[in-house]
């Protein structure tokens, strides 16, 4: 089975997609904090703003994704409950 097909099957569950989206938001936020603290000058400012914009975009995507899931019959209790169910 090709990699794309395996990823598509793996991400078919809404909870899995939500966890991946939240993970990417966390990475973006950590990137913003890291570049804001340790990269000097204009490059640091531009990089920090880019990471913040990426994180905000992912947040909007997750919000729209959650609203779309409300129209289906799937039950979704939030990303924290999804993580707790998997641990």
Low-confidence stretches of the chain (pLDDT < 50) are: none
Predicted pLDDT at 20: 85
Predicted pLDDT at 74: 64
Domain ranges of the chain: 14-86
Angle between helices 14-38 and 41-70 (to 10 degrees): 160
Predicted pLDDT at 56: 94
d(CA 87, CA 45): 38
Residue 20 tokens, joined: 């991946």
Predicted pLDDT at 55: 94
Q: Provide the sign of the torsion angle of the four alpha carbons 4, 65, 23, 40, taken in this order.
A: positive
Predicted pLDDT at 87: 74
Predicted pLDDT at 63: 81
CB 62 within 8 A of CB 14: no
Tokens 């939240």 belong to residue: 22
């Amino acid at each position: 089975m090709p990699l794309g097909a395996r990823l598509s099957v793996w991400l078919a569950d809404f909870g899995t997609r939500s966890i991946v989206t939240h993970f990417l938001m966390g990475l973006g936020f950590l990137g913003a904090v890291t570049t804001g603290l340790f990269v000097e000058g204009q490059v640091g400012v531009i990089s920090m703003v880019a990471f913040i914009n990426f994180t905000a975009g992912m947040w909007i995507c997750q919000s729209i994704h959650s609203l779309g899931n409300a129209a289906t019959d799937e039950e979704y209790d939030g990303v924290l409950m999804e993580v707790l169910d998997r641990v």
